[in-house]
A = this chain, B = another copy of it.
Amino acid sequence: MQRIQLTEDLSFSRLIHGLWRLDSWNQEKKKTLDLIKYAMEQGITTFDHADIYGGFTCEELFGQALSLEPSIREKMELVTKCGIVFEAPARPQHKSHHYNTSKKHIIESVENSLTNLKTDYIDVLLIHRPDPFMNPEEVAEAFRQLKNSGKVRHFGVSNFKHHQFTMLQSYLDEKLVTNQIELSAYQLENIEDGTLNLCLEKRMAPMAWSPLAGGALFKGTDEKSVRLRETLEKVKEEIEASSIDEVAYAWLLAHPAKIMPLIGSSQKERMARAVRSLEYHLTLDQWFEILQSSMGHDVP
């Protein structure tokens, strides 16, 4: 599978496995290990986590599976996130929902992630959300300390707009290596408001969450979903794909920004469809037909 070079010493697989629903799959750790190994056989070596997924439980479920065959750790890239706090049984000390990007919290969160994921290092740590109360000097100190200790190799952000990105970046020693943003044929906000252009300007490949719009492409009943689904079905026939999710992935993969979609499924067949989407080629006519169908009008 194609790989995207994020830095001199780090590359991601073009498709990334997202574990945000791992807890809901209710499966034995053997089955999770099996899924991880299946992904890796397909070339998907990058796995996306966050401390909060599953109410602060998904990282540990992954770590338990990983501990069954620790040798595969070196063959994968682990991404995780920090900065969101909310009440959950696994975090009894949390009193309310807010952000925390203090040095103390970032470092403690990474320590937890390392323990839960059963690993010595995180490949990329992301600040999960732009924090209106962020002290960028504290973030910079936390990153420096985590880098120096070898606990985190590189740093990035998630859901950052232009002003949040450039502000934080101006305090950091090293370049942020990615911005994980919501991006799909259905959800164009980050294209329209310039966030994707920021990624191109910074030579930074974005990760795309909800590349299938959380299922809206398949099941949405709003006008936009229906309209877009129709277009995806039409293009599916034209390119002889087997499902519209392949078209939706292909639409993201065709873009020059080197978008890395997150695949969040426990089903091998769905993962295989995502992998197949790498082989489809959309014409410009098709790419814009999908775009315009989502916008509800032609480009000017």
Binding site for B on A (CB under 8 A): 85, 95-100, 102, 129, 132-138, 159, 161-164, 166-167, 170, 191-194, 196-198, 200-201, 254-256, 284-285, 287-289, 291-292, 298-300
- Cβ–Cβ contact B164 & A197, under 8 A: yes
Smallest beta-carbon distance A82→chain B, Å = 14
Distance between Cα atoms of A95 and B284 in the complex (Å)? 10
User: Chain B contacts of A287 at CB under 8 A?
Assistant: 98, 133
| 9 cross-chain pairs, A with B, having the tightest CB-CB distances, nearest first | A163-B194, A98-B288, A135-B256, A167-B197, A167-B201, A163-B197, A96-B285, A170-B201, A95-B285
Q: In the complex, A159 Cα to B299 Cα: how many Å?
A: 12
Flag if A163 contacts B198 (CB, 8 Å).
yes
- Give how many copies assemble into the complex: 3
A198 to B300, CA, bound (A): 22
Query: In the complex, are the beta carbons of B201 and A166 less than 8 A apart?
Result: yes
A283 to chain B, nearest CB (A): 8
Contacts A96-B288, A133-B287, A167-B194 aside, 12 further interface pairs with beta carbons under 8 A come to A85-B284, A97-B292, A97-B298, A97-B299, A98-B284, A132-B192, A133-B256, A133-B291, A136-B200, A137-B256, A164-B194, A166-B201
Task: List, sorted by A's number, 6 A–B pairs whose CB atoms are closer than 8 Å.
Answer: A95-B285, A96-B288, A98-B284, A132-B192, A134-B256, A137-B256
Name the B residues within 8 Å of A197 (CB-CB): 163-164, 167
Given A159-B300, A194-B162, does the pair A133, B288 have CB atoms closer than 8 Å?
yes
Q: Are A285 and B98 in contact (CB under 8 A)?
A: yes
Chain B residue numbers with a CB within 8 Å of A98 are: 284-285, 287-289, 292, 299
B residues in contact with A135, CB < 8 Å: 256
State whether B194 touches A288 (Cβ < 8 A).
Answer: no
Residue of B with least CB distance to A191: B132
A251: min CB distance to chain B, Å: 10
Provide the bound-state CA to CA distance between A132 and B189, in Å. 12
List of B residues within 8 angstroms of A97 by Cβ: 288, 292, 298-299
> Contacts of A129 on B, CB cut-off 8 Å?
299-300
